[in-house]
Chain A
Amino acid sequence: MTAAAAPDTRTLADFVIGMADNDLILAQQLGKLCGHGPNLETDIALTNISLDLFGQVRSCFQYAATLLGNGATEDTIAFLRKEHEYRNVLLVEQPSLDFGHIIVRQFLYDVFHHLLLERLQFSADETIAAIARKSIKETAYHVRFSADWLVRLGDGNDESRARAQAALDHLWPYADEWFLPTAVESAAAAAGIGADLPSLREPYQRKVAAVLREATLELPADTHFRKGGKQGIHTEHMGYILAEMQSMQRTYPGMQW
């Protein structure tokens, strides 16, 4: 099979931004936990993961800014879009209701993120491949952390098990949206730049099932999967996240550190 023609610059920029939006919103959610972790070590771990993700976002948005031109910067992309222009999946915007939710949300995303980066390492776009090769080393740590904690919670005591199961029941319906490609993602995949997303579903479910077995947790039956984030149709939680995340740029336009 020969790769389709390279997508135009705008499509490429949209692809790069879309792939980083998941990391941006999750990093923001984790950053808010600074000082609120259940113990010092976990607190530090969650904020370290947040920092890794923000770093990966910066690499992506700096690249997207050069593609977009017209005065775009990593900051304008991160902070000055409207809610419907963010392409993150609904999972990452779900609230940190308790430590069970924080870990289940993290685990479900980390497994997908790692599989995605495994493919993007071989992207036909050199910059995307370089970012993926850098990021995958960090994401491998994230998966180990969240899988480890999921097993500890699930195979822990009655309280931790019940909370982890409740979080899984609540969040599993959000763990399929990323396999449904948008037009931009299909164009990128056809050009050998993006990943064939539907083909990640099977290895994803296998990996998740293996960890859940160890954690003695069960997937809810008859799941109706939710979607819409990648089309910019977000849940009610997104507005609150953006209001806080964008407040400095909106209050002091053009501010820099």
Chain B
Amino acid sequence: MDATIPQQEIDPGLLAVLDAVSDPEIPVLSIVQMGVIRRAVSTGGNRVEVDITPTYSGCPAMDVIADDVRAALARAGFEAQVRLVLAPAWTTNWITPQGRAALEAYGIAPPLEASADKAALLGESKVVKCPRCGSTRTTLVSRFGSTACKALFKCDDCLEPFDYFKCLK
């Protein structure tokens, strides 16, 4: 299934502008790194079309993201039409390697592979790494965290609670 998921299609001239728009809930991450921008193409003159896709259906950040995209492109001289697309459904595989690194540096453990994620969220295995001290002696506190995309863990070594970005495939 993964092989059929199209990559992001972003005109090189728009990439820098869009990469400067951050995710409203995770400000260290750009919406490009997050995989939320699926397509951004020029349609002639200063007009561009941008497709965005939600991480979770109820993600309250989508309206803000659409506004931010329009505003950022307007500042760069473009007039953007932003469309919300549902298919193909977003997956955590679309978070770029830079995005994963930014998440971890920010204190959010990046998503594991599906099977490891399942075991972690069932409390069966200690594989989620504490983003503060690097220990894998961590415990699931709640499968649901501060936002729809995260679960809550705590570290048994440094004792800090932290968010884990759940795998969505």
Contact = CB atoms under 8 A, between A and B. Distances in A.
Interface of A: 41-42, 44-45, 48-49, 51-56, 58-59, 126-127, 129-131, 133-135, 137-138, 141, 144-145
A201 to B, nearest CB: 27
A41 B152 contact: yes
B119 to A, nearest CB: 12
Given A52-B148, A55-B59, A56-B58, A130 B143 contact: no
A134 B57 contact: yes
Category for how many chain B residues contact A: 20 to 34
Contact of A129 (B60, B87, B121): B87
A8 to B, nearest CB: 24
Nearest to B53: A134
Contacts, number: 70
A53 B58 contact: yes
A56 B152 CA distance: 24
A41 B142 contact: yes
Interface of B: 54, 56-60, 86-90, 121-122, 141-148, 152, 166, 168-169
Given A41-B144, A131-B86, A51 B58 contact: yes
Nearest to B152: A41
Contacts of B122: 144
21 contacts: A41-B142, A42-B142, A44-B144, A44-B145, A51-B60, A52-B148, A53-B58, A55-B54, A58-B58, A59-B86, A126-B87, A130-B89, A134-B54, A134-B87, A134-B89, A137-B168, A138-B56, A141-B143, A141-B166, A144-B143, A145-B143
B62 to A, nearest CB: 9
Contacts of B56: 51-52, 55, 138
A55 B88 CA distance: 16
Nearest to B166: A141
Which secondary structure dominates chain B's binding surface? loop
Nearest to A51: B58
Contacts of B145: 44
Nearest to B141: A41
Nearest to B58: A55
Contact of B88 (A51, A54, A133, A144): A133
A126 B145 CA distance: 32
A232 to B, nearest CB: 26
A45 B148 CA distance: 9
A145 B121 CA distance: 10
Contacts of B168: 137
Contacts of A49: 144
B87 A130 contact: yes
Closest 7 CB pairs of A and B: A55-B58, A55-B57, A41-B142, A130-B87, A45-B144, A51-B58, A130-B86
Contacts of B166: 141
Candidate in B89, B90, B146 with the most chain A CB atoms within 10 angstroms:
B89
B63 to A, nearest CB: 9
Contacts of B90: 134
A169 B142 CA distance: 28
Nearest to A134: B89
Contacts of B169: 137
B57 A135 contact: yes
